[in-house]
Amino acid sequence: MECIKGDIEASNETHLDAHSLSEFSISRIAFSSCIRNKLSNILYYPGIWEHVRYKFKPDLWIWLGDNAYSDGKDMNYKREKYNEIREDEYYRKYGPIGNPKIPVMGIWDDHDFGYNGVGKEYPCAELSQREFCIHFNISKKDARHPDYEPLEGKRSGIYSSLTFANPEPYNVNDVKGIHVINLDTTSHRDVLYRRGNCSLNGVRPENVDFIDKEQWNWLSNELFNVKSEIKIISSSIQALTPTNFNVDNDMYHYCAYDGEDGEFVKGVKELGEEKKWHGGGDFHKEKWADAPRARAKLLQWVQKSINMNMTKVVIFLSGNLHFGDLLAKRMPESSVWGASQVLYEVVSSGIGQKARNWAYRNAARIRLRTCDKQGNGVYFKECKFPFEFKGKTRNKCITNLLKGERDGRPWCFYDTNKKNIPNLTKWGYCLPENQELVKRKDQYVSGLTCSNHYHQTCGVNNVYGGVAVDWKNGIITLSVYNPNPFKMNQTAASAINVSFLPEWKIFKVPPDDSNHVEEISDSHVKEISDSHVKEISDNHVEQISDSHVEQISDSHAEQITELLPNDETNFSIYSFIIDNETNYDITDDEMSSILEETITTTNMNSKVPCNNMFNLPCTWNGKLYSPKITFNISTNISIASATSATSTSINKFNISLGTLYFIFLFSFLLFLKKKRSCHNNEIII
């Protein structure tokens, strides 16, 4: 069949192309891919767009490919399918083309570019690129448009980039805030698998790649010459997922494979990976790791960009898989690419899609706590919490004995049933927490998913992802959302916090913030009530010593609250447990270690943490206290005792004491010398 040019009328419903706007600032990006949004599709939940617009409130939406399922060479069919997307009632009312419009950027994948699995062999690429530009309302003044002039500047492919200003008052030193880099991994993709012939027109590529030389040169400029605080790289396929060496027991399944001594294996080893790393189980889904030499080049360039101080954090966004996921990878130190750096990725794919109950194994997936398999030293298993052991519920790695001595190293179970009863043979030693790429205190999970992993949001029909930046505190929240009729108020299916040092802090230019907390002077202790909410910044550290402590009675309850932003992004909920087998006499030196021992996270909604009211029965000087407490902590207030050199750094905190016996917790932090004995208590903060 020959390529058929589109001549039917395009829908009058139009996107707002972000490239058409003057530079503006953004802090919140939402994104997804693989959409089937016809109302006749019972799997499509149109309420997802209300969730996007009113719950997440993005400044920018990014489509990550398969933006319509329009396989084939007929451009009228492609235009018709694009029209259906934009004319959907809910997409028009609440989606990116609603009122007001949400600026949009986008890339494509195989189904909207050509057809399933196709790459540069697709003969209708330029016609398809025209339909892409019509769908996203891309101007003829844009190099991606087929009618762009001069012709020598016209772009073969839909890759693009934009820089966004830092929002005031954090825009200092002319450094851009977010730099979005959209890759086209489809238009010039080589044949990846030997489903047929790896050669194209009788010529086999020397090095299998996803992008051509022109796009590599363009990417080099974006990474090494454009400075920004954060770089977001959109790719239709996963970048951090490792190469899968368990494909039909035949490595020659990959067109890029050139033997054990070739570039394929070399590319894997350069990234510090091995054959035992899981890279997608037995599922043949396109990913950068199918061409390890190209993947190594991409990730090494990104590592160098960070080490050249061209950015502080790099986050990949990807789609294609029809589920959500959160990934991270530590790049090895290199004499060429520089110091080791951690890279992050959010996978978001599927709107109106059939649920995929895939146990998609991925060594790069973020884990609540990582363990090995029965002491084999390969740390790719994930601890399952809570688990029952010796008649008690455990919510952390433990050192209790099981069938003999385990040399005192913390361990956990990585397989439990629905009643939290573990398979006693499925245990492993826990990875030291300082080696986890994302600490447990910086994670939020809503529960195990279809794959028995906390951060793979699978078995769902509608998924979108989010990146939200707290410029004041230097926190980036990466989230996956699964809105449905039963979970419209859900904060996220899973999320993590990534910290960075904002430019304004480097140059010590404090923002003009009228809500800062006044310092507590030596002469008095200020009472901060709900009607006088103040925030504590890094430059207003409160020192509370024994000589400045006021005994607070039941009739003078001090309410300390935090003014939280509407965006619900600033969260860092910590969790602690006091071993229910032990009676503790808490000393000053023990305080920091208890506060630093993170055990479980219950909720990261910064406005109204859910499930945060709990009973804490505790004896103190012979009296039983049972306060109900809401406690929300994030980093940098110093609370110290004049009798001890120990101090614990905590950033903005929020305490709400709801019962008569709130005195316990406040006194606990101040009178560190007091003895206390708590039994069977779990403190969730």
What pLDDT score was predicted for residue 537? Answer: 37
Same domain as 427, residue 403: yes
Same domain as 342, residue 447: yes
Residue 527 lies in a domain: no
Domain end among 450, 476, 506 = 506
Residue 538 lies in a domain: no
- Measured CA to CA, the distance from residue 588 to residue 674 in angstroms comes to 10
What pLDDT score was predicted for residue 510? Answer: 59
Residue 217 has pLDDT above 90, yes or no: yes
Q: Which domain holds residue 466?
A: 18-366+440-506
Phi, psi (5° rounding) for residue 270?
-65, -25
**568 or 159, which is more confident:** 159
Residue 541 lies in a domain: no
Residue 512 lies in a domain: no
Residue 514 lies in a domain: no
What pLDDT score was predicted for residue 491? Answer: 74
Same domain as 225, residue 323: yes
Is beta strand 629-633 parallel, antiparallel or unpaired with respect to 653-657? antiparallel
360 falls in which pLDDT band (50, 70, 90)? confident
281 falls in which pLDDT band (50, 70, 90)? low
What pLDDT score was predicted for residue 138? Answer: 98
Same domain as 594, residue 447: no
Average pLDDT over residues 541-570: 34
Whichever domain contains 119, its CATH number is 3.60.21.10
The token pair that represents 295 in the structure block: 């993947």
Average pLDDT over residues 370-393: 93
What pLDDT score was predicted for residue 352? Answer: 96
Give residue-wise pLDDT tens across range 426-484.
999 999 999 999 999 999 998 777 778 899 999 889 999 999 999 999 999 999 999 98
Same domain as 158, residue 103: yes
Average pLDDT over residues 265-282: 85
What pLDDT score was predicted for residue 359? Answer: 77
Is beta strand 623-625 parallel, antiparallel or unpaired with respect to 618-620? antiparallel
- Cβ partners under 8 Å of residue 86, min gap 6: 11, 13, 14, 15, 92, 97, 135
What pLDDT score was predicted for residue 574? Answer: 29
Give the mean pLDDT of the chain: 78
Residue 257 lies in a domain: yes
Domain end among 506, 531, 563 = 506
Same domain as 477, residue 374: no
- Number of structural domains (the chain) is 3
Domain end among 414, 436, 458 = 436
What pLDDT score was predicted for residue 11? Answer: 97
Residue 8 lies in a domain: no
Please enumerate, as own/partner, the contacts of 36-42 that have beta carbons within 8 Å and a separation of 24 or more. Answer: 36/69, 36/351, 36/352, 36/353, 37/84, 37/85, 37/88, 37/90, 37/91, 37/351, 37/352, 38/84, 38/88, 38/352, 39/88, 39/89, 41/352
- Measured CA to CA, the distance from residue 234 to residue 345 in angstroms comes to 10
Residue 515 lies in a domain: no
Whichever domain contains 379, its CATH number is 2.10.10.10
Using CA atoms, how far residue 11 sits from 107, 334, 379, in Å, is: 20, 51, 52
Give residue-wise pLDDT tens across range 566-605.
333 333 332 333 333 333 333 334 333 333 333 333 333 3
Provide the Cα torsion 18, 19, 21, 23; round to 10°.
100
Give residue-wise pLDDT tens across range 90-142.
999 999 999 999 999 999 999 999 999 999 999 999 999 999 999 999 999 99
Residue 35 has pLDDT above 80, yes or no: yes
**467 or 408, which is more confident:** 467
Same domain as 395, residue 355: no
Give residue-wise pLDDT tens across range 483-536.
987 766 667 999 999 999 999 998 876 555 544 333 333 333 333 333 333 333
Average pLDDT over residues 130-156: 96
Same domain as 303, residue 277: yes
**254 or 115, which is more confident:** 115
Same domain as 450, residue 566: no
What pLDDT score was predicted for residue 485? Answer: 79
Same domain as 577, residue 647: yes
What pLDDT score was predicted for residue 643? Answer: 29
Same domain as 346, residue 375: no
Give the burial class of 554: count Cβ atoms within 10 A of its Cβ; 0-12 exposed, 13-18 middle, 19 or more buried.
Answer: exposed
Same domain as 480, residue 411: no
pTM: 0.76
220 falls in which pLDDT band (50, 70, 90)? very high
Across 84-122, b (16+ Cβ under 10 Å) vs e yields: bbbebebbbebbbbbeeebbbbbbbbbbbbbeeebbbeb
276 falls in which pLDDT band (50, 70, 90)? confident
